[in-house]
């Protein structure tokens, strides 16, 4: 059976707006097709959509909205974020107040991202768990910058375990700082984007920002600090307990991780999984479980995550049938 079709025209006709909407080699159109799982054919200002009726309606609405915004060229990133924001509007959700960073419009893009930010702002310890691309680390760093700029904390401390992602990198050149920098690079990148390179460099000099491997946290008490433990799935239970007991007066902590990407040696238990099980009923701790729908990257990333989830379920089912 042929997929149903929806035909409409974008008016008033403006060839420059159409060019800005479609992007180079119709790249923006392909992004909208992927986001809504429809096929789009265009002849001038006339569009034909094929797919499931609800998805066609949403894709048509997105095309009309982007056409209104196309007085200037639209890049792929703007299209992808616009699709996510439309999903929120479809669910009747309003974004919270923007975080105080160098990016003036930074806020949660999905329902769980919005809850995540609220949890961070209202709890002393927050766990953010979910697949890659859901904004766990980036939004945590943004909340840390927001708290620092509002003078709610005196220092930002970012840490992660120095565990290789399935590869053996061998001996790295340089001093201790240069050896651990590759593991901490995502945290540096987020800081530079949210505060600017020069400002971050000055705050490092004043020791208002610290980025360090998790092993350096032992024996310390961190007061009036915003502390982020990233890639927490690669901690051991002992390391996780050590980290959580570093939190001092006036401190706030965020723990992020993806339980599907544990890089610990075989047979070692993840400290993140252990903490979730043991601390689930502790008052004052908040949890946000992200899903593939929260991925704020290329639309294919969400589908890749979904494919791996399905494969994992099939593998578990096969193991179960073998045991019986």
Domain that holds residue 192: 111-309
What is residue 95's predicted lDDT score, i.e. its pLDDT? 53
Check whether residue 246 and residue 177 sit in a common domain.
yes
Check whether residue 77 and residue 212 sit in a common domain.
no
Instruction: Give the mean pLDDT of 122-138.
Output: 92
- The model's pTM is 0.68
Distances (CA, A) of 16 to 21, 46, 67, 266, 320: 9, 15, 10, 57, 58
Contact assessment for residue 134 and residue 296, using Cβ atoms and an 8 Å cutoff: yes
Instruction: Give the mean pLDDT of 293-308.
Output: 71
Check whether residue 117 and residue 225 sit in a common domain.
yes
Number of domains in the chain: 2
165-206 pLDDT per residue, tens:
444 444 555 555 565 677 778 888 999 999 999 999 999 999
What is residue 168's predicted lDDT score, i.e. its pLDDT? 46
73-98 pLDDT per residue, tens:
888 777 877 776 776 666 655 555 67
Check whether residue 138 and residue 73 sit in a common domain.
no
Check whether residue 218 and residue 73 sit in a common domain.
no
Check whether residue 81 and residue 116 sit in a common domain.
no
- Say yes or no to pLDDT of 119 above 60: yes
Check whether residue 219 and residue 82 sit in a common domain.
no
Torsion angles phi and psi, residue 312, rounded to 5: -65, -40
**Residue 61: CATH number of its domain:** 3.30.1370.10
Which residues are registered as beta bridge partners of 226?
156, 252
250-263 pLDDT per residue, tens:
999 999 999 988 88
59-71 pLDDT per residue, tens:
998 899 899 989 8
Q: How far apart (Å, rounded) are the C-alpha atoms in residues 194 and 140?
A: 11
State the pLDDT confidence band at 107, using cuts at 50, 70 and 90: confident
Cis bond upstream, residue 12 (ω within 30): yes
Q: How far apart (Å, rounded) are the C-alpha atoms in residues 182 and 11?
A: 51
Tell me, yes or no, whether 316 lies in a domain: no
């Amino acid at each position: 059976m042929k997929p149903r079709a929806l035909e409409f025209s974008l008016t008033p006709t403006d060839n420059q707006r159409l060019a800005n909407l479609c992007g180079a080699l119709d790249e923006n159109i392909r992004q909208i097709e992927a986001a809504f799982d429809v096929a789009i054919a265009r002849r001038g200002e006339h569009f034909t959509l094929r797919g499931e009726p609800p998805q066609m309606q949403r894709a048509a609405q997105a095309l009309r909205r982007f056409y209104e915004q196309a007085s200037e060229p639209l890049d792929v990133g703007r299209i992808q974020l616009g699709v996510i924001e439309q999903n929120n509007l479809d669910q009747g959700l309003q974004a919270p107040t923007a975080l105080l960073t160098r990016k003036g419009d930074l806020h949660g893009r999905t329902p769980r991202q919005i809850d995540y930010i609220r949890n961070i702002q209202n709890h002393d310890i927050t766990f953010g768990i979910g697949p890659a691309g859901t904004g766990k680390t980036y939004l945590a760093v943004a909340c840390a910058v927001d708290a620092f700029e509002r003078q709610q904390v005196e220092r930002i401390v970012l840490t992660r375990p120095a565990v290789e992602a399935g590869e053996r990198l061998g001996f790295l050149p340089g001093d201790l700082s240069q050896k651990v920098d590759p593991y901490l690079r995502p945290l540096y990148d987020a800081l530079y984007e949210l505060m600017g390179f020069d400002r971050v460099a000055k705050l490092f000099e004043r020791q208002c920002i610290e980025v360090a491997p998790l092993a350096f946290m032992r024996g310390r008490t961190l007061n009036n600090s915003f502390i982020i433990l990233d890639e927490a799935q690669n901690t051991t239970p002992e390391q996780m307990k050590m980290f959580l007991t570093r939190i001092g007066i006036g401190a706030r902590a965020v723990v992020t991780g993806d339980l599907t990407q544990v890089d610990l040696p075989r047979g070692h238990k993840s400290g993140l999984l252990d903490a979730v099980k043991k601390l689930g009923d502790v008052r004052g701790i908040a949890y946000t479980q992200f899903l593939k729908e929260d991925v704020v990257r290329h639309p294919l990333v969400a589908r890749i995550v979904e494919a791996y989830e399905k494969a994992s379920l099939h593998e578990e089912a096969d193991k179960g049938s073998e045991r019986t």
